[in-house]
Amino acid sequence: QSALTQPASVSGSPGQSITISCTGSSSDVGSYNLVSWYQQHPGKAPKLMIYEGSKRPSGVSNRFSGSKSANTASLTISGLQAEDEADYYCCSFAGSSTYVFGTGTKVTVL
Amino acid sequence: QVQLVQSGAEVKKPGASVKVSCKASGYTFTSYGISWVRQAPGQGLEWMGWISAYNGNTNYAQKLQGRVTMITDTSTSTAYMELRSLRSDDTAVYYCARHSGTSAGAFDIWGQGTMVTVSS
C-alpha cells in the first residue's frame, strides 16, 4: 500500500487561507468517505482535526475544513494563525481493515 | 479523562524483540479498536495494524506481517504491540491510537508515544 501524496510544504501569511491536498487512488481515497486529517506539532502526538472527509471533532476550530473530489482530499485552513504551524497528515481507510497515511505537509506561517 | 498511556523508551539490539504497552483509561476499553502507528525520525506516519479490543481480531500492514503481534488484556485495559527481528529501520516513535466511536476511519485519542531505538 503506497502512502498518499501530499505536498511537502505549504506556507501562508497570518489571516490567509491555505489548502493541503492529499492524493490517493480508487483503492483508498476514491472508494471510501473515510479520510481523516491530523495536526502534529514537534515532539507531540498527532491530533485529529477532520474525520469522514469534512467533519470536525468537538473542540476543533471551524477554521479547519475538509473536502474530497474523486481520489483527492483537501484540508483548508482559513484565517491562518501562528499556532497552525505544524505538520499535517491525511489518512484514508483502504479496505479490509487497513489504513494508509499521507506523506505529510509542513505548514509554515510567514 | 480519556487517555492512552504508553510504556517508556526502549533500546534494543538488531535481531531482538520489543513489546510496547498502551494502557487505556476513562472509557470502556472493549468498545473501541486500537491501531498502532509509527514514525521514524524526521519521517511521516506509518500505520502498522489494528486490533479489536472487543474480540481480539487483528489486521496488520502487509510489510510487517510475520514480525508484529498485537494483543489486548481486557482485565487491565491494556493493548500491547510486539515487534520481532528488529532492524535499524525500525527505530521510530511508536504510537497507539483509539479508533473513534463516531467514525471507524479516524483515530481520536493517541498515546504519548514510545521511542524505540535499534542499535548495535
* Of B59, B76, B77, the residue nearest B68 (C-alpha): B59
Bridge partners, B116 (sequence order): B10, B92
Handedness of CA B58, B62, B63, B67 (dihedral sign): positive
CA distances A73 to A50, A70, B95, Å, are 11, 8, 24
Decide if A1 and B61 are in contact by the 8 Å CB cutoff: yes
Decide if B105 and A35 are in contact by the 8 Å CB cutoff: yes
Chain A neighbors of B46, CB-CB under 8 A: 101
Residue pLDDT tens, chain B, 120 long: 999 999 999 999 999 999 999 999 999 999 999 999 999 999 999 999 999 999 999 999 999 999 999 999 999 999 999 999 999 999 999 999 999 877 778 999 999 999 999 999
Locate cell 497515511: which residue?
A: A101
Å from B14 to nearest chain A CA?
Answer: 25
- Measure CA B111 to chain center: 9
Looking at residue B4, its pLDDT comes to 98
Please write the tens of the pLDDT for every residue from B7-34.
999 999 999 999 999 999 999 999 999 9
